[in-house]
Amino acid sequence: MIESTSAGKFEIRDAQNLRRITLDRRGFEVLSLLDKRQTKEELLQRIASNGNPMSPEALDRVLGVLMDLELLDVKQDEQETSLLIPRDLRFSCLACGSCCVGVNIGPVSEEVASVVREDLALLDTSGKPPFFVMEEDKEKERFLVCQSRNGACVFLDRDGLCRIHKQKGAQAKPWVCRVFPFRFVRTRRGIRVGLIPECRNMLRSFKGKRLCEQNRELEALLQGTSKLAVAPGFISLTKSKTISFEEYEAIEEEIFKAIRRSRKGMFYQLIEAWKIIVSRTGEAVGSEGITVEDTVHKLYSLVQEIAQRLVSLKGLFRQETGEIRFHSENLDMLVEALSDCPLYMSKILEDDPKNIRSFSKVIMFNYLWSLEGLEHRSVSSALSWLAISWFFTKSLALSRAVKVHRFLLFPQDIVDAFICVHMLLRNHRVKKTLQVLEEKVEEIFGQCLPFLVGHGPEIEISDQKTDFHLF
């Protein structure tokens, strides 16, 4: 059922999926004309005959939105259910237990919870209940998560193994534990299999067995997945250019080739990716007219605003009650690192050491392949957020190293810092808080990235204070 609202919007009441969808007049106009099979050119002609022509790019954006909202019938075939697994990605679980530390494991189904509650051998000897109810927001449903003990999941034993897994088998564990670190995304060609880069043993586990050699295990996991992420039919390459997903795949493959050829670190790989995108759009993006002074001002203003927004976000929540201990270490560490970064800017912006470049290649390849960045407004914006994530990563790694009187970064420093940043930036509260800065991030860590990397030493602030190491 479609209802017209007073603000010129159209509300679709979808009784089957129990939802209401609001479209603007343009979206409703296109939807109302999708009453038969037709080419895009024919649809454009029908739109124009109504007296309000639309450009092909604008139509692509509208069709992409309608497809994402599942308002268009997309025929699925066997090809769409086949697994797409690149040879570049590897993973073998080393049972280090790091994925069970510093997070609330959940949601936990009532079926899993019942199995645990009925087996006394699975319960924590301290008497702490195995689960607690989490309510993210008042309008969202409540769900169970595992309790923690000494900073880790209550079911993690001293040997680094899960007690539920050991005594009941992998099938008895919460679904989120069984599927980690794999990420499945449905595309028109098949289901892409990527990785969630939050294993602290990545330097070893990401050199394990090829994912393409684990096809049977991955297919079994896929059978238990109730809902998959779905790639949109159309993608905004930049703010002003929309392309089909098939066109995006061709550009993506060109970027993958550049990554494989590159002998440089993350920032330089991102610059190459930007060049490929610019070559496809014809948009002129260069460093003409950019000055060091202007760049310094914009960079530090952005860093300061991000830190202030994170501090304000933390202030919205209670930090301690009689029964609950709140943790915000990832946020606190990043805020402190951002306050320190002006002193180490040349070190942050310099190319990654050789022993870190291979890791950065895997991170960038997986970021693109698993379509993690497509939640942003465009591919160019997604690359900019990966750039600022790497900036945060090196800032945090360096900040932590300096505190233990070390200036040399080791690969594990980068891994630990990257995971802290990745977990923080995918938090829905943090994403909502920083979303308003998307345009500034794309300008500074997209368009100005080559300039930043080339002028790192000039951007660094000279510290005039005398350091006296008292204790």
Domain locations along the chain: 2-68, 83-91+184-231, 94-180, 235-317+326-459
Pairing relation of β-strands 148-149 and 152-153?
A: antiparallel
- Asked whether residue 299 carries a pLDDT value surpassing 50, the answer given is yes
Residue 357 has pLDDT above 50, yes or no: yes
| Dihedral angle computed from the Cα positions of residues 165, 170, 176 and 182, in that order, rounded to the nearest 10 degrees | 120
- pLDDT tens digits, residue range 384-416? 999 999 999 999 999 999 999 998 999 999 999
DSSP classification of residue 363: H
Residue in the structure block whose two tokens are 């022993």: 355
On whether the CB atoms of residues 397 and 416 are closer than 8 A, the answer is: yes
* Backbone phi, psi, residue 194, to 5°: -125, -170
- Of the two residues 15 and 248, the one the predictor is more confident about is 248
Q: Which of 457, 456, 264 lies closest to 351, judged by CA? A: 264
| pLDDT tops 70 at residue 182 | yes
pLDDT of 285 reads 58
Nearest to 295 by CA among 447, 435, 462, 463: 447
Q: What is the pLDDT of residue 20?
A: 59
Q: Return the SS3 of 468.
A: coil
Separation CA 44–CA 256 (nearest Å)? 34
What is the structure's pLDDT at 418?
Answer: 97
What's 409's DSSP letter? Answer: P
With 90 as the cut, is the pLDDT of residue 230 above it? no
- Which residues have C-beta within 8 Å of that of residue 241, sequence separation ≥ 6? 57, 280, 281, 283
CB 269 within 8 A of CB 358: no
* Of 330 and 324, more confident: 330
- How many whole angstroms separate alpha carbon 182 and alpha carbon 369? 12
State in Å, rounded, how far the first CA of the chain is from the last one: 71
173 pLDDT more than 80: yes
Question: What is residue 17's predicted lDDT score, i.e. its pLDDT?
Answer: 42
Q: What pLDDT sits at residue 124?
A: 64
In degrees rounded to 5, what are phi and psi of residue 288? -65, 130
**Lowest-confidence segment of 11-15, 187-191, 417-421 by average pLDDT:** 11-15
